[in-house]
A = this chain, B = another copy of it.
Amino acid sequence: MVTSKDVAARAGVAQSTVSYVMSGKRSISPETRAKVEAAIAELTYHPNAGARALASNRTSVIGLVVSMSRTTEMAGLLPFIEAITSDARVRDHDIVLVTEEAGTASLERLSGRSLVDAIILMDVHLHDARLERAAQLAVPVVLIGLAEDNHGLDAVDFDFEAAGIMAAEELLDRGYTRVVVIGEPPEVNVRAYGFIAGFERGALEACHRRAAEAEVLRPAAPGWNAFLAEVSEQIGKARTSRVGFIARTPQTVAWVLQLLLIGHLEPGRDVGLVGMCTDEDSETFSTPVTNVSPRPREVSYAAMNRVFELLDGAEPGGQIQLIPPRLTRRCTT
């Protein structure tokens, strides 16, 4: 293994000089810098991460804690993971990914062992028992998602209520007079996550403000059959009045499209549809769907930004940053 000592010997300088050349923490004469950099290149020197962490109390690693319990919703996490890891690279950091269904064991491990400089905790729910411990860790923690009580931790979240409003208003603007929000089957614990309720509330209130008819549909069970039973009735109504659907998940969007195809109704003409899904999802449906994007990239960047502000000495103040939704009109409205 090539060490900074080897580099120093090769360049004819002290070990500390090598260190200072790399960190830029003191001024170096052009000649010395050149010699050191040449030696680094010739020996293909890489600083040892463990030694650096030990000496500097900085690991250049961020912990990303996600709870991968529900396989279905899991797919939605990938854009976040992707955005966070690539942003970390840009900032010259690495990501340790931990998947934990519940509990704070990994939080305490990551922090206690000084494996990471900071932690991003995803999938926070309303009464998240992890937050109390998270707030006491030695490293800064940033949440993605909101709890009823964030315990003073900084959080970033997508503005689901605004998303609901935006989806509803798009439908109303496009002349649909009746709005149907596809809700969750009872299996999904709506109470656990505030954002589902927030989204529905936004949509309903927007309709209410504009005196439009609105309704949340709740299939009796998960799966296509219950969905079919609940929603196809609504499709019937769409033949006589201008109905617009709001679907909160890619799966639901796909199913609504499927139902319309079966009923020989053309989305965007006979029926309106706004989906909450990424732009990539929107474009891979059989019809490009007007969508409100949950903006995983923006949410992730905001969380990372806050992480680095905290690492730079900012005080955690329980601040909440909401990322506004963005609607892209495609073929279904």
A6 beta carbon closer than 8 Å to chain B? no
> How near does chain B come to A279, taking the closest CB pair, in angstroms?
10
Of the candidates B59, B68, B71, B85, the one whose C-beta lies within 8 Å of that of A98 is B85
A53 beta carbon closer than 8 Å to chain B? yes
A44-B112, A113-B48 given as contacts; is B75 within 8 A of A99 (CB)? no
Q: Is the CB of B284 within 8 A of A50?
A: no
Question: Which of A44, A52, A99, A280 has the most B CB atoms < 10 Å from its CB?
Answer: A99
Q: Is the CB of A115 within 8 A of B251?
A: no
Of the candidates B53, B78, B95, the one whose C-beta lies within 8 Å of that of A77 is B78
A96-B97, A285-B224 given as contacts; is B61 within 8 A of A54 (CB)? no
Q: Is the CB of B50 within 8 A of A114?
A: yes
CB-nearest residue of chain B to A254: B254
* Residues of the B chain whose Cβ atoms lie less than 8 Å from the Cβ of A96: 61, 94-97
A47 beta carbon closer than 8 Å to chain B? yes
* Residues of the B chain whose Cβ atoms lie less than 8 Å from the Cβ of A61: 96
Per assembly, the copies of the chain total 2
Stretch touching chain B among A150-158, A255-263, A268-276, A314-322 = A255-263
User: How many of chain A's residues have a CB under 8 angstroms from any CB in B?
Assistant: 58
A286 beta carbon closer than 8 Å to chain B? yes
> How near does chain B come to A212, taking the closest CB pair, in angstroms?
30
Q: Is the CB of B75 within 8 A of A113?
A: no
A72 beta carbon closer than 8 Å to chain B? yes
Interface string of A63-106 (1 = CB under 8 A from B): 01000100110110111011001100100001111111000001
A329 beta carbon closer than 8 Å to chain B? no
A49 beta carbon closer than 8 Å to chain B? yes
Complex interface residues of chain A between 236 and 278 (CB less than 8 A to chain B): 251, 254-255, 257-258, 261-262
* Residues of the B chain whose Cβ atoms lie less than 8 Å from the Cβ of A138: 1
Question: Lowest 6 A-B CB distances belong to which pairs?
Answer: A46-B112, A50-B53, A224-B286, A50-B54, A49-B113, A97-B97
- CB<8 Å pairs between A and B, sample of 9: A48-B114, A49-B53, A51-B54, A68-B82, A68-B86, A89-B98, A94-B110, A94-B115, A224-B285
